[in-house]
Amino acid sequence: MEKIDTWGDTACDDSTWDDWDVPVHCPVSQVPSFLPAQDDNAHNPDTSSALSHTLEPEPLPLLSWDHLECGDKIGSGQCGVTHLGMLTLDDGRTTEVVVKMLHGGSPLTAEARTLQEVAGAGGAPLLHGVATNPNALVMQYCPGVTLQAMLEEYDLQQCYDAYKATVEAVNCFHTAGFYHQDLHPGNIIINTSVLPYTSHLLDLGYTRRFTGQLVRDDNAKSEDLFCLKQIKDQIDAKHY
């Protein structure tokens, strides 16, 4: 398998919140001290490095389209389109994947680097690699239903259970040293086939590392928590 340049990774710890309501104040007290400063090319994930690094980048796995089949479309947003796919691994086994491509055809190098570095924290999909001609990001398929669909179709208790799982996923993500910046019900998948439900945070194009600067990090964390609060409000509104 060929490689292209990317960065190192980070693991998630398995701490959870006792209380699954969004905390009013959630200081960034657990930011690992090794985290480097953030790069300021925010909000343009695919023309810059999404995460800032002082370490040498690790290579991104470069996948061949010969080993990749693109199936049904499962999502389409402002930036791109996602398909279910099937990837043949080096050992010959096949695995279900999600293939994401941008409308303009640009590479998703920065989002791929982020997925690689986040390394599954917050249930984020693991990166399989990137392909070229056409450019695509290939990631683990996260089974489940979007929180958006749950808000529309599931009952109140199921939505609260999904919310609780999402609070835990966001806590895990933050503890691993990252903030998401684009949390909304379409970017969250809930696996309802397990109890308690588990949550996957998707669409990490705006994800950044905490900087170690307390005020800035607190603000970044608060923005994610505010998004959670908005989701909770949406669920509460189902009462009426």
Report how far residue 207's alpha carbon sits from residue 118's, in angstroms, rounded to the nearest whole number. 9
> Could you tell me which stretch among 38-46, 100-108, 117-125, 179-187 binds Mg ion (CB under 5 A)?
179-187
User: Is residue 36 at the binding interface for ligand ADP, with CB under 6 A as the rule?
Assistant: no
Report how far residue 27's alpha carbon sits from residue 131's, in angstroms, rounded to the nearest whole number. 39
Q: Which residue, 12 or 202, has its beta carbon nearer to ligand ADP?
A: 202
Per DSSP (E only), the strands in the chain are 2-5, 59-63, 68-76, 80-88, 94-102, 127-131, 136-140, 145-146, 178-179, 188-191, 198-201, 208-209
User: Is residue 146 at the binding interface for ligand ADP, with CB under 6 A as the rule?
Assistant: yes
Q: Which residue, 108 or 235, has its beta carbon nearer to ligand ADP?
A: 108
Report how far residue 136's alpha carbon sits from residue 88's, in angstroms, rounded to the nearest whole number. 16
Residue closest to 23 by CA, chosen among 177, 168, 126, 207: 168
Across 151-179, b (16+ Cβ under 10 Å) vs e yields beebeeebbbbbbbbbbbbbbbbbbbbbb
User: Is residue 203 at the binding interface for ligand ADP, with CB under 6 A as the rule?
Assistant: yes
User: Is residue 74 at the binding interface for ligand ADP, with CB under 6 A as the rule?
Assistant: yes
Q: Coil, strand, or helix at residue 75?
A: strand
User: Is residue 46 at the binding interface for Mg ion, with CB under 5 A as the rule?
Assistant: no
Q: Which residue, 73 or 216, has its beta carbon nearer to ligand ADP?
A: 73
User: Is residue 77 at the binding interface for ligand ADP, with CB under 6 A as the rule?
Assistant: yes
Least Å from the CB of residue 239 to ligand ADP: 26
Least Å from the CB of residue 35 to Mg ion: 25
Peptide bond into 196 cis (omega under 30): yes
Least Å from the CB of residue 180 to ligand ADP: 12
> Could you tell me which stretch among 23-31, 170-178, 200-208, 222-230 binds Mg ion (CB under 5 A)?
200-208
Residue 166 backbone dihedrals phi, psi, to 5 degrees: -70, -40
Q: Identify the residue among 8, 23, 59, 186 touching ligand ADP (CB under 6 A).
A: 186
User: Is residue 10 at the binding interface for Mg ion, with CB under 5 A as the rule?
Assistant: no
User: Is residue 207 at the binding interface for Mg ion, with CB under 5 A as the rule?
Assistant: no
Q: Which residue, 28 or 190, has its beta carbon nearer to ligand ADP?
A: 190
Give the number of residues written for the chain. Answer: 240
Beta strands 136-140 and 80-88: pairing type? Answer: unpaired
> Could you tell me which stretch among 9-17, 134-142, 162-170, 232-240 binds ligand ADP (CB under 6 A)?
134-142
